[in-house]
Structure 1
Amino acid sequence: MRVIIVSGHSGSGKTSALNILEDIGFTAIDNLPLTLLPALIQEYRLTQNGQQLQLAIGIDARNLSTDLSQIEPAVARLRRADIQVDILFLASDKQQLLRRYSETRRKHPLSSNEVSLEQAIDLEQQLLSAVEKFADRYIDTSSLSLHQLRETIKQTVAANSQQLAVLIKSFGFKQGLPTDADFVFDLRCLPNPYWKPELRSFCGCDQPVIDFLNAQPDVLAMSEDIYRFINRWIPHFTANSRSYLTVAIGCTGGHHRSVFVANQLHQRLSQLHPQVQLLHRDLV
């Protein structure tokens, strides 16, 4: 049996994540009290073919705070019962959450006449801190489209839990740092194709930009150094039973240098490691 617990900030895409998991074969249940999770799993295990069941459970700040504080021992008990459990924590920065709520008629579950939206967001972050610290995968949805969220979740779910899943993510510093990164590499010191008028409209996946950057010794040296560092330490993260590693490659706008180097890293690391994923966060 496999159980994926989906948690995170209200407005960060938890409902979309549950819908995506349901689309790929999970039985999705939202807003389940944590104390009822063992009984639910036991009930499903007694049904026919229960061992093959895949459950996606939404647990968030609507749960009692005492429930949320027990997330670690509750999951540990399930794992001792030979149940594969993964926790996905979806988050978004406060400004994005404020914007999303201002653009919809939805009400934050913790807001009231006495509690403003901003206060509710801060309170929810405090309540969910125990879950966030214990999560197997932290997904920052601040800049993700629904399509990118879908692909990220599919790649996460499809990854073999016995292998380290490495995500290579390009991004632009102008749009902010990715908060889910384990390592961040800054390429802004490298020659920038943006300042070549004939290259500005292209991206790091296009041949004219590829040819330009391939001709820059510093770009190739930076790419090689990052590759050697990540490849050197992947076995240590694997030996430490880590499930996910996110490597963020950043340039100014996230269109040229970071995309080019991220593509190179993905291509080279994929030849040596089975679970290497690629995401261009700010490439439109």
Structure 2
Amino acid sequence: MMTELVVITGMSGSGKSIALHALEDAGYFCVDNLPPELLQPFIALEDQRRGRKIAIAMDVRSGESLPQLPLLLQGLRDRGLSLRLLFLDASDHTLVRRFSETRRRHPLSLQPDTNGHHTLMQAIQHERELLGDLRERSHVIDTSFLRPAQLLAAVKDLIALPTAQLTLVFESFAFKRGITLDADYLFDVRMLPNPHYEPDLRPLTGRDQPVIDFLDAQPPVQLMLEQIADFVRTWLPALARDHRSYVTVAIGCTGGQHRSVYLVEKLAALFGDEWQTLRRHRELDVRQD
């Protein structure tokens, strides 16, 4: 049996240890900070043991060997290995706050610049440059607004799906709390009629029937739904042929409660019969946690 591998990478402070715990709970054998040069021998050893589910965290702690990782992962994929590559990210502001709260040093802060030191922000920016190629090849999870339990659930939802097909992720968010970092495509729907201004609808969400009925009756909302669906439907086959594992479509409104939630639910229902789909509601998930 071929080994099943999940590689967790991403920014320092983005929650990689939490994601690794989620995989351990799901039955994966987990290894943190495996040097890239040991990846292929390690996988070969696991294959001799008849294979099992493996999760490995790899990041800038690998130092000078990190640039080898994309080529090594492609070689494993070419061999037919079942491989998922997840990249955890967060906004610069969130990362700075997390390091300040924990009083931990950033791994790259130990590498001095020409003046003999790295500020935290310099270290974060340098890390983004080093990880840029890996980010482009991965499914990105923005943890800026996620609590640990929400990140655990997101990772478990992803690994529960078969790897053979492209997975389509629809995500709602609030512009007032910041743009999500994990979107491949992002649509702004703040110009649509807003249930927030209807007193009876204000406390409800886009999953509640009165809000659904209200938005169903709005021609601009239905036109937006049709046009987003047409765009996604047009380009998904090409993305699948390009060997993409995940495509994230983010829908943003002002508060992330009504319009974006409604559209995510509608789109997930439209595409659910043909494609593997997941739906996320960033603001609702935060409220309900």
TM-score, normalised to structure 2, is: 0.90
Q: Secondary structure at the match of 1:180?
A: coil
For residues 86-122 of structure 1, the C-alpha deviation after alignment (integer angstroms, 9 at most, x for no partner) is: 2211111100101112222333222249322222212
1:123 aligns with 2:115: no
How is 1:143-154 mapped onto 2 (pairs within 5 angstroms)?
143-154=145-156
For residues 15-53 of structure 1, the C-alpha deviation after alignment (integer angstroms, 9 at most, x for no partner) is: 001110111011000011111112222222223xx22x1
Question: In 2, distance between residues paired with 1:233 and 1:35?
Answer: 37
Find the counterpart in structure 2 of residue 60 from structure 1.
Answer: 59
- The residue identity in structure 2 corresponding to 1:121 is I
For residues 187-244 of structure 1, the C-alpha deviation after alignment (integer angstroms, 9 at most, x for no partner) is: 1111111112222111111222222212212112211222222223222222222211
1:138 aligns with 2:137: no
Kindly report the root-mean-square deviation, in angstroms, between the aligned alpha carbons of the 2 structures: 1.7
Structure 1: unaligned runs, 5 residues or longer:
none
Question: In 2, distance between residues paired with 1:121 and 1:242?
Answer: 27
Find the counterpart in structure 2 of residue 209 from structure 1.
Answer: 211
How is 1:223-242 mapped onto 2 (pairs within 5 angstroms)?
223-242=225-244
Find the counterpart in structure 1 of residue 113 from structure 2.
Answer: none
Question: In 2, distance between residues paired with 1:15 and 1:199?
Answer: 40
Find the counterpart in structure 2 of residue 282 from structure 1.
Answer: 283
How is 1:29-48 mapped onto 2 (pairs within 5 angstroms)?
29-47=31-49
Number of residue equivalences: 278
Percent identity for Structure 1 against Structure 2: 42
Among 79, 90, 93, the alignment partner of 2:91 is 93
Q: 1:108 to 1:215 in 2, by over 3 A?
A: same
Question: In 1, distance between residues paired with 2:90 and 2:59?
Answer: 14
Find the counterpart in structure 2 of residue 72 from structure 1.
Answer: 70
Q: Secondary structure at the match of 1:7?
A: strand
Deviates more, 1:245-254 or 1:67-76: 67-76
How is 1:228-267 mapped onto 2 (pairs within 5 angstroms)?
228-267=230-269
Regions of 4+ moved over 4 Å: none
Q: 1:261 to 1:80 in 2, by over 3 A?
A: closer
Deviates more, 1:157-166 or 1:76-85: 76-85
Question: In 2, distance between residues paired with 1:181 and 1:226?
Answer: 14
